[in-house]
């Protein structure tokens, strides 16, 4: 992994020259990849980094001739020069014999979503055995023994038993390990990993990245790692190529790119990444009223009882999604809720709003008038009034806006249904809200499909703020956005918080976002809050071993100060 430990052999294995990929679309021709050149060398990792739509995944697929119609390689060469002979992949027929001999055999590939890349109807073992039988013409027993060996190599526990299990019986990290075992089954010369850890939690990500680096060193492969995460790049890359709008904006060794970026796009990308590495400058020390809780959550729990049988009457087992959670949200503060997937953080947000009914516990909201409202005891109408004060911002800017309604209808709907404003008054208020979130008020006649992800999220924020709320629950509000847009949205929320005196409950899996945005942070694990404290304390000197493991697994976007290799592992008893 570290640059100095790699034997410097300048043997280039895969040489991509002036690759151009075009997609014929109705409006004309869209060039997804334009004149891209790079070289993969034995024992080195090249990270292809870029934001969504930059063409990095298309490049990776082109290297395996996996581009779907209407896309095609227009020009350029992909020269594979290995021990097993040389070939120009760009010239091969995508359905031909020659490319199939290369796929899986000489170039292994790992995809983002291990669940959809592995077959759900075959056992893990059968899928790897098939690869071995196909490419290396191994016998059944030999292939099986080799598969067990491979599974052991990728640190899957008890491989003799797990070889006969199905994809859905594996966790996300285990699936990605199995996928790696499959990609490496034939000792490929080149490994292409397309966002291999994007769907994984940070602790799992750290382990999978470790595994990829270790396997690469052991097998002496050339690796192409595609990612949008600059932290991952800094942790694992030897060389970096930054892609922007189908071109390579800048390329060089990892140190050159991170510490001597030349291209303005690289600089901008790095600055927005580094900006999220510390607390926002926009944050001022909260002044008044921080000791008054505006929202109190006490012993909140949600238990699911899966039901079975013809009339769903039999109850089996019990799953605690949220388990005895208590905290206070102070007036004017931002409280972050951090946790990995399945930790119950999203459910917690929905329990507070009673989108999902809690099983037990209490939620107390203190409105301006001073009395305390027990949210759980409210009837429908009273709950609607509370929903005007406590608003939710969603993760997915595509799913959270009704595609059949214009922006005016979307932002104005809460005003209309709560009989606050209608007609021209509503229109004026919508214009005001759009201007507040930085959108042109003229855009109100448009439908959501005419906006980009970041703009849609702004529409979602405008809808949340239209009712003059006091508390905003932001559920992974920036997770679906690219890093540069993420910081813009966070800055917008911070500015609005100060202007409108909002209190935020900020739910996220992303430590850097929480550190940037929040005053205090609560760490959740398996439905429970394991630790709660100021953002500074949690992010630098956490006390709970789980938090320590979580924080230390976050990749650090500086190749000179890698964090992951010195990370702390948290081995909790599996229950």
Partner 1 sequence: MTAHPDHEELQMLGDGTLVEPVESETQLVMAAGVKSAVAGQWTLLLWRFRRQRVAMASMIVIVLFYLVAIFAEFLAPYGPDMTRPQYTYAPPQGINMFVVDASGSWQFKLHAAGYKITVDEQAMRRTFEVDPEKIIPLGFLVAGETYRLWGLFETNVHFLGPTDPTQTVYFLGSDRIGRDLFSRLIYGTRISLSIGLVGVVISLVLGIFLGGVSGYYGGAIDTVIQRVVEIVSAMPTIPLWMGLAAAIPLSWSPALVYFTVTAIVSLLGWTSLAREVRGRFFALREEDFVTAARLDGSSEMRLIFRHMLPSITSHLLAMVTLAIPAMIIAETSLSFLGIGLKPPVVSWGVLLQDAQNIRAIANAPWLLIWPALAVMVSVLSFNFLGDGLRDAADPYGN
For partner 1, the binding residues in 184-213 under the rule CB under 8 A are 195, 198-201
- Please confirm whether the linkage preceding 245 is cis (ω < 30° from 0): no
State which residue, 42 or 463, has the beta carbon closest to partner 1: 463
Q: Give me the least distance between CB of 135 and partner 1, in Å please.
A: 28
The secondary structure of 216-259 as a DSSP string is HHHHT-EEEEEES-HHHHHHH-SEEEEEETTEEEEEEEHHHHHH
Q: Which of residues 488-527 bind partner 1 (CB under 8 A)?
A: 488-489, 509
Orientation angle between helical segments 140-153 and 124-136, nearest 10 degrees? 120
Phi, psi of 517 (to 5 degrees): -100, -35
Question: Helices (DSSP H) in 466-510: which residue ranges?
Answer: 483-500
Q: Give me the least distance between CB of 418 and partner 1, in Å please.
A: 5
Please tell me the count of residues contacting partner 1 according to CB under 8 A.
73
* Site pattern 130..169 for partner 1 (x: CB under 8 A): ----------------------------------------
CA atoms of 202 and 5, how far apart (whole Å): 25
Q: Give me the least distance between CB of 311 and partner 1, in Å please.
A: 6
3-state secondary structure of 269: helix
Candidate residues 235, 323, 389, 476; the one interacting with partner 1 per rule CB under 8 A: 476
State which residue, 116 or 543, has the beta carbon closest to partner 1: 116
Q: Give me the least distance between CB of 71 and partner 1, in Å please.
A: 9
Q: Which residues pair with 376 in a beta bridge?
A: none
Tell how strand 520-525 and strand 334-339 pair up. parallel
Q: Which of residues 432-461 bind partner 1 (CB under 8 A)?
A: 438-440, 443, 445-447, 449-455, 458, 460
Orientation angle between helical segments 407-417 and 453-465, nearest 10 degrees? 20
State which residue, 27 or 566, has the beta carbon closest to partner 1: 27
Decide if residue 23 touches partner 1 (CB under 8 A).
Answer: yes
State which residue, 57 or 266, has the beta carbon closest to partner 1: 57
Decide if residue 570 touches partner 1 (CB under 8 A).
Answer: no
Decide if residue 235 touches partner 1 (CB under 8 A).
Answer: no
Candidate residues 388, 528, 537, 565; the one interacting with partner 1 per rule CB under 8 A: 388
Dihedral of CA atoms 46, 172, 320, 351 in degrees, nearest 10, equals 50
- From 20-28, 326-334, 549-557, 558-566, give the range in contact with partner 1 by CB under 8 A: 20-28
Residue 468: burial class (beta carbons within 10 Å; 0-12, 13-18, 19+)? exposed
Candidate residues 1, 14, 32, 433; the one interacting with partner 1 per rule CB under 8 A: 32
Phi, psi of 31 (to 5 degrees): -90, 105
Q: Give me the least distance between CB of 253 and partner 1, in Å please.
A: 25
Decide if residue 108 touches partner 1 (CB under 8 A).
Answer: no
Q: Where are the beta strands (DSSP E) in 343-466?
A: 360-365, 373-374, 390-393
User: DSSP code of 285?
Assistant: P
Decide if residue 290 touches partner 1 (CB under 8 A).
Answer: no
Q: Give me the least distance between CB of 3 and partner 1, in Å please.
A: 27
Candidate residues 3, 406, 528, 565; the one interacting with partner 1 per rule CB under 8 A: 406
State which residue, 44 or 387, has the beta carbon closest to partner 1: 387
CA dist 527 to 77, 347, 472, Å?
A: 52, 9, 21
> CB–CB of 128/162 below 8 Å?
no
Decide if residue 382 touches partner 1 (CB under 8 A).
Answer: no
Candidate residues 311, 423, 424, 561; the one interacting with partner 1 per rule CB under 8 A: 311
Q: Which of residues 330-349 bind partner 1 (CB under 8 A)?
A: 341, 346
- From 85-93, 208-216, 409-417, 540-548, give the range in contact with partner 1 by CB under 8 A: 409-417
Candidate residues 112, 147, 216, 552; the one interacting with partner 1 per rule CB under 8 A: 112
State which residue, 80 or 411, has the beta carbon closest to partner 1: 411
Candidate residues 401, 472, 493, 496; the one interacting with partner 1 per rule CB under 8 A: 401
CA dist 213 to 216, 239, 502, Å?
A: 5, 14, 45
List the Cα angle 457/446/468 in 5-degree steps. Answer: 50
């Amino acid at each position: 992994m570290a640059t100095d430990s790699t034997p410097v052999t300048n043997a280039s294995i895969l040489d991509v020259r002036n690759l151009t990929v075009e997609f014929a679309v109705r409006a004309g021709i869209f060039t997804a990849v334009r004149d891209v050149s790079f070289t993969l060398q034995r024992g080195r990792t090249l990270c292809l980094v870029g934001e969504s739509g930059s063409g990095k995944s298309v490049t990776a697929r082109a290297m395996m001739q996996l581009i779907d119609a209407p896309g095609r390689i227009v020009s350029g060469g992909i020269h594979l020069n290995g021990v097993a002979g040389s070939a120009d992949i760009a010239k091969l027929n995508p359905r031909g014999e020659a490319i199939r001999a290369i796929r899986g055999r000489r170039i292994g590939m790992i995809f983002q979503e291990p669940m959809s890349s592995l077959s759900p109807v075959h056992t893990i073992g059968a899928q790897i055995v098939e690869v071995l039988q196909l490419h290396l013409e191994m016998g059944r027993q030999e292939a099986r023994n080799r598969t067990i060996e491979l599974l052991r190599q990728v640190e899957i526990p008890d491989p003799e038993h797990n070889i006969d299990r199905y994809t859905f019986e594996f966790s996300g990290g285990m699936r990605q390990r199995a996928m790696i075992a499959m990609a490496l089954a034939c000792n490929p010369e080149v490994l292409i990993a397309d966002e291999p850890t994007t769907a994984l939690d940070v602790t799992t990500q750290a382990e999978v990245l470790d595994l990829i680096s270790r396997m690469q060193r052991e097998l002496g492969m050339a690796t192409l790692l595609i990612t949008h995460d600059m932290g991952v790049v800094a942790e694992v890359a030897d060389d970096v190529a930054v892609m922007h709008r189908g071109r390579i904006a800048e390329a060089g060794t990892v140190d050159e790119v991170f510490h001597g970026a030349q291209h303005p796009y690289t600089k901008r990308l790095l600055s927005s990444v580094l900006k999220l590495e510390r607390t926002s400058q926009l944050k001022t020390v909260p002044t008044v009223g921080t000791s008054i809780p505006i929202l109190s959550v006490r012993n909140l729990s949600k238990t699911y009882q899966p039901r079975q049988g013809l009339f769903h009457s039999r109850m089996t087992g019990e799953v605690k999604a949220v388990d005895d959670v208590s905290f206070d949200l102070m007036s004017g503060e931002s409280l972050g809720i951090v946790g990995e997937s399945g930790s119950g953080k999203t459910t917690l947000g929905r329990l507070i709003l009673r989108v999902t009914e809690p099983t037990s516990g209490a939620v107390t909201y203190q409105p301006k008038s001073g009395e305390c409202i027990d949210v759980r005891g409210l009837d429908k109408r009273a709950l609607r009034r509370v929903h005007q004060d406590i608003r939710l911002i969603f993760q997915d800017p595509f799913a959270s806006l009704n595609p059949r309604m214009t922006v005016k209808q979307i932002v104005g709907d809460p005003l209309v249904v709560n009989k606050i404003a209608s007609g021209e008054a509503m229109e004026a208020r919508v214009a005001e809200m759009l201007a507040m979130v930085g959108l042109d008020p003229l855009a109100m006649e448009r439908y959501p499909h005419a906006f980009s992800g970041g703009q849609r999220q702004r529409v979602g924020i405008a809808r949340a703020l239209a009712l003059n709320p006091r508390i905003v629950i932001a559920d992974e509000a920036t997770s679906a956005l690219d890093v540069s847009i993420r910081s813009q949205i966070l800055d917008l929320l911070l500015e609005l918080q100060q202007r409108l005196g909002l209190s935020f409950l900020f739910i996220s899996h992303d430590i850097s976002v929480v550190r940037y945005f929040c005053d205090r942070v609560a760490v959740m694990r398996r439905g429970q809050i394991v630790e709660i404290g100021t953002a500074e304390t949690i992010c630098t000197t956490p006390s709970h071993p789980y938090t320590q493991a979580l924080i230390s697994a976050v990749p650090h976007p500086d190749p000179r100060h890698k964090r992951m290799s010195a990370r702390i592992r948290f081995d909790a008893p599996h229950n």
